[in-house]
A and B are shown apart, each in its own frame.
Chain A
Amino acid sequence: EPEVTQTPSHQVTQMGQEVILRCVPISNHLYFYWYRQILGQKVEFLVSFYNNEISEKSEIFDDQFSVERPDGSNFTLKIRSTKLEDSAMYFCASQPLGDDYTFGSGTRLTVV
């Protein structure tokens, strides 16, 4: 069964550093998403992406965050200057037209 692949599974970064979280969506999917889960808490929507542009973003997704699909296969989330409160599990998801999501297994980001 096709999977959404996220790398790395765990990343530790220093506060103020830039970090890029990578996702490889399922190949024929058209819609892409990032969600965040602060440890043990609810899963929160960050951003949706379709046709090479952001279609919706939440209040959390401020100027420190950006997404891109640089080569037609990867889908990345960049945090420019990480803060302690960015420590969370980040989930990527992809979706074909008219069907449901497939979530990746997540990247645990720890900002120290």
Chain B
Amino acid sequence: AQSVAQPEDQVNVAEGNPLTVKCTYSVSGNPYLFWYVQYPNRGLQFLLKYITGDNLVKGSYGFEAEFNKSQTSFHLKKPSALVSDSALYFCAVRDGGTYKYIFGTGTRLKVLA
């Protein structure tokens, strides 16, 4: 069965510092991996995805994610955090057969001024 794990409930980082939000996955077959962000009382906004190709994927708002097949990880990164990046971040894997998304439990990112 497909699954994703986000081991950190919350990540705190100072503004201007690099940030990493961790995600590991378990899939049978090729992974289709996604990151979404949710601001308070808002919907899910797509950040980036990995389907195939380069292991470093660039997305919206300066975010990027690194696909690591040997470590089965897809960590979200940003070189310099902004206070406005504070939000709830979800990693997801798509079931290749049904297109159903399986989401991680979410990581709350808090960027401190």
Contact = CB atoms under 8 A, between A and B. Distances in A.
Interface stretch (A11-19, A63-71, A79-87, A99-107): A99-107
Nearest to A95: B99
Contact size class for B? 20 to 34
Q: Is the interface of A mostly helix, strand, loop or mixed?
A: strand
A108 B99 contact: no
Interface residues of A, number: 22
A45 B105 CA distance: 13
A56 B104 contact: no
Contact of A106 (B43, B46, B92): B43
A41 interface: yes
Contacts of A40: 88, 106
B43 A48 contact: no
B46 to A, nearest CB: 7
A31 B98 CA distance: 10
Given A31-B99, A48-B98, A48-B99, A91 B104 contact: no
Interface of A: 31, 33, 35, 40-45, 48, 55-56, 91, 95, 100-106, 108
